Amino acid sequence: MVDLLSRKSDCTKKEAEAFLKEFFTLATEILSSGESLKINGLGVFKPVWVEKRNSVNVQTGQPCEIPGHYKLSFTPDKSMRDAVNAPFACFEAEIIADDVDIKDTEIFDMAAEDSDMTETNIDDSSTEMETVVMSLDKETSDIVIADIPDERQNVKDEIQPENNQLPNEMNISDTTNQKESKDENTEHKLPAEVYDAQTAPEEKIKEPEEKEHIEVISVSVVDNYEKEEFRRKQTWRNRKNFWYGFVTSLLIFVVADLIWLCYNGTFEEGQVTISSWIPAIIKNQNQEGEKNKDSVSVVKALVTDSLKTTEVVRKDTATLENKPITNMNEKSNKVPEKEINNDTMLSEKTVTEIMKPGIFLTTLSLKHFGHKTFWVYIYQENKANIANPNSVPVGTKLIIPEKSKYNIDSNNRESVEKAKALATKILSEYE
Amino acid sequence: MEYKKFIEELQKRLGKNKKSIDALMSDTLQIIKEHSVMMDSFSIQGFGTFEPRKKAERISVNPATGKRMLIPPKIVLTFKPGTIIKNKLREKSDNEQ
C-alpha cells in the first residue's frame, strides 16, 4: 500500500506511510467512538446497533441469546459503487408481469422429467417382456415347441442381434474414445430393440411358412447356445438397461436445455453456441446411424429374412431422431440469414455499430447518449433489423441516431422518463 | 463525522496543507478503486479489508406496489472491519449493557 501510494503520488515512502498511518488510525478512532465517518469517494462507515435476538447454537442445538452489539456497516459511495459494478452496469431491474416466468421454467422441468419417466417405463416393460419370454422358453424347451413358436422365435431374434451388438459396441468404444458417440449409439439401439421385440411376433403371424423354416434352425442352435449364454446375458441386460435409462435421461436433459436456450435466447452467445453445436450432434448421429446399419447388415446375413423389419425400424428411428434436431437447426439459422440480407441494404452514412458478444443495446446507448434507457431510440431506428430487442444477433449493423432526432438528453429528466415509458411499452410487446 | 471535519483533523495531526492531503487522499482512494475493479480484495493493516463481492440475480417484491422484480446480478464492495475496530466496538457495546 505504502509502495503503491508513493509511486502514484510521487512522494517519499516516509510521507506516504505517515499519511496512511494517520489516516487509518484517525478513522479507527472515530469509528471506535461510535461515530459515523463519511469519506468522499469511498463511502460511509457507520456503527449500527444490533438488537439482542434469540438464536440456536449450531453445534449443540441449544437455544441461546445473542446480546445486542454494534456492527460496522459500510455503504460505498455512488462513484465507487458504479466503478466496481461496471461489468454489470447495463442490467436494470425488470418487472415480471405475472408469475409466468418462474412457472414456465418449472413446468418445463416437470415435462422433461415426465418424458424421462415414460422413457424408463418403456425400458422396464421391454425387460419384463423379455424375462417372461425367457421363462416361458425355459419351461417348454423339452416339451411342445410347436405350441409356442412365437416366443421361441422372438427369443432367437433377440439373442442373435444382441450377440452382434455387444462386440460391436465394444469395438466402437475402443476405436472412438469419445463417450458421446457411445452414448448416441446406445440410444439408437434402445428403441430399435424395443421395436424388435414388439414387431417380431406380429410378423410371424403373417408368414407362418417362413416361421416353421426358421424354427428348425432355432431349435437346434438356440437350445445349446441358450443355456450357456443365458445367465451371462441376463446380467448384461440388467446392466445395459440401467445405462440405457441413464443415457436417455441425460440426453433428454441436454436437449431440453438447448431448446430452453433457443426459446429464451436473450444472450447472443447462446445462439451462436447452439447453432454450432447442432451440426456437430447431427454429424454424430449420422455416423451412429451408419454404424447401426452396418451392424444390422451383419445381423441380416446371419438371421435371414425375419430381421428385415428390424432394419426398417432402425432406419425409421434414426431418421425420426434426426428430424426434430434438423428443424431446430433450420430455425436458428434462418434468423441470422435474414439479418445478413438486411445488412447489405443499410446505408453507412451515419454512425453505425456492429453487435458483438457482451454488447447490448443498453451498452451502446450508455456509450453514445450517456444513459442506458435511450436504447429504445436505437431500437426504433433499426426496427427493421431487430426481430426482438431482448436478443439482437451478433454481427447486426445498427445505426445510431442523432441525439437531436429524439430529443435525447441524459441530463434532462423528462427525456429519460419518456424513454423509460417507451421501453416498457416496447418490452410489453415481446413478453 | 463529515468529510470536511475529517480532513481538518488529519491536517492538524500531520501538519500539512490541505492541498497535499487532498492529493494523497484521492490517490489512496484511486488505489482502492483500481483494486476493487480488478476484483482484488484489499486489506489495510489495523483497519480492515475491502472486498468486491458478486451478488447473484434474484426476484424480490416491491413492498409499495406489490410487483415482483427481477434484480440483476451485481458486484458490491464490502468492508470487513479489522480486529482493532471490532474489539473496540465490542467493548463499547459491553459498556452500554
pLDDT at A281 over 70: no
DSSP string, A329-382: HHHHHHHHHHHHHHHHH---SS-EEE--TT--HHHHHHHHHSSGGGHHHHHHHT
Domain boundary residue among A334, A355, A377?
A: A334
What pLDDT score was predicted for residue A349? 54
Q: Whole-angstrom Cα distance, residue A143 to residue B76?
A: 81
Is residue A18 located within the same domain as residue A117?
Answer: no
A93 domain-assigned = no
CA A334 vs CA A97, A257, A340, B34, B96: distances in Å = 30, 20, 10, 44, 71
CB-CB: which of A32, A42, A86 is closest to B29? Answer: A42
**B6 contacts A80? CB cut-off 8 A:** no
**Residue A409 near residue A403, CB atoms below 8 Å:** yes
Is residue A45 located within the same domain as residue A118?
Answer: no
**B69 contacts A96? CB cut-off 8 A:** yes
The grid coordinates of residue A300 equal 441380416
What pLDDT score was predicted for residue A69? 84
- Nearest CA to CA, how far is A125 from chain B (Å)? 43
**Residue A304 near residue A214, CB atoms below 8 Å:** yes
What pLDDT score was predicted for residue A167? 41
Give the DSSP H/E element, type plus range, for residue A258: helix A208-264
Q: Which chain A residues in 60-119 lie under 8 Å from chain B, judged by CB atoms? A: 67-72, 74, 76, 80-81, 83-88, 91-96, 99, 101-102
Is residue A39 located within the same domain as residue A74?
Answer: yes
A305 domain-assigned = yes
pTM for this prediction: 0.38
Q: What is the mean pLDDT of residues A22-43?
A: 84
CB-CB: which of B1, B33, B97 is closest to A83? Answer: B33
**CB atoms near residue A243 (< 10 Å):** 14
Q: Whole-angstrom Cα distance, residue A192 to residue A195?
A: 5
Cα atoms found within 13 Å of the Cα of residue A44, Cβ hemisphere only:
9
What pLDDT score was predicted for residue A350? 66
pLDDT in tens, A112-147: 444 444 444 444 444 444 444 444 444 444 444 444
Is residue A166 located within the same domain as residue A35?
Answer: no
Q: Whole-angstrom Cα distance, residue A136 to residue B7?
A: 96
Is residue A315 located within the same domain as residue A361?
Answer: no
What pLDDT score was predicted for residue A225? 53
**Residue A364 near residue A239, CB atoms below 8 Å:** no
Is residue A165 located within the same domain as residue A209?
Answer: yes
A395 domain-assigned = yes
Q: Compute the count of residue pairs across chains A and B with CB atoms less than 8 Å apart.
A: 153
Q: Whole-angstrom Cα distance, residue B71 to residue A419?
A: 20
pLDDT tens for chain B, residues 1 to 97: 678 888 888 888 888 788 888 888 888 888 888 888 888 888 888 888 888 888 888 888 888 887 888 888 888 888 888 888 888 888 888 887 6
Interface test with A, best of B75, B91, B96 (most A CBs within 10 A): B75
**B97 contacts A86? CB cut-off 8 A:** no
Domain boundaries, chain B: 3-96
What pLDDT score was predicted for residue A315? 45
Is residue A252 located within the same domain as residue A166?
Answer: yes
A212 domain-assigned = yes
pLDDT bin (cut points 50, 70, 90) of residue A231 is low
What pLDDT score was predicted for residue A181? 39
Domain boundary residue among A56, A88, A120?
A: A88
Is residue A370 located within the same domain as residue A287?
Answer: no
pLDDT in tens, A312-370: 444 444 444 444 444 444 444 444 444 444 444 444 456 777 777 777 777 777 777 77
**A38 contacts B2? CB cut-off 8 A:** yes
- A388: containing domain: 346-429
**CB atoms near residue A363 (< 10 Å):** 16
Amino acid (one-letter) located at A278: I
Domain boundary residue among A55, A88, A121?
A: A88
**B47 contacts A27? CB cut-off 8 A:** yes
Q: Whole-angstrom Cα distance, residue A47 to residue A35?
A: 7
Sequence-distant (≥ 6) Cβ neighbours of residue B59 within 8 angstroms: A96, A102, B68, B69, B70, B71
A227 domain-assigned = yes
pLDDT at A53 over 60: yes
DSSP string, A18-72: HHHHHHHHHHHHHHHTT--EEETTTEEEEEEEE--EEEE-TTT--EEEEPPEEEE
Most confident range, picked from A159-163, A169-173, A240-244, B6-10:
B6-10
A340 domain-assigned = no
Q: Choose which CATH entry (3.40.50.10470, 2.60.120.260, 4.10.520.10, 3.30.70.3040) describes domain B3-96.
A: 4.10.520.10
A151 domain-assigned = yes
Interface predicted TM-score (ipTM) over 0.95: no
Is residue A171 located within the same domain as residue A127?
Answer: yes
Question: Which chain B residues have a beta carbon less than 8 Å from that of A428?
Answer: none
A148 touches chain B (CB under 8 A): no
Which residue, among A49, A167, A191, has the nearest Cα to A119 in the 3D structure? A191
What pLDDT score was predicted for residue B39? 84
Q: Whole-angstrom Cα distance, residue A49 to residue A73?
A: 10
Higher-pLDDT residue of A389 and A298 is: A389
CATH of the domain at A373: 3.10.350
**Residue B41 near residue B49, CB atoms below 8 Å:** yes
**Residue A69 near residue B85, CB atoms below 8 Å:** no
As for how many domains chain A has, the answer is: 3
Most confident range, picked from A260-264, A289-293, A403-407, B49-53:
B49-53
Q: Whole-angstrom Cα distance, residue A240 to residue A21?
A: 70
pLDDT in tens, A74-110: 888 888 888 888 878 777 777 776 555 555 554 444 4
Is residue A402 located within the same domain as residue A353?
Answer: yes
**A99 contacts B68? CB cut-off 8 A:** yes
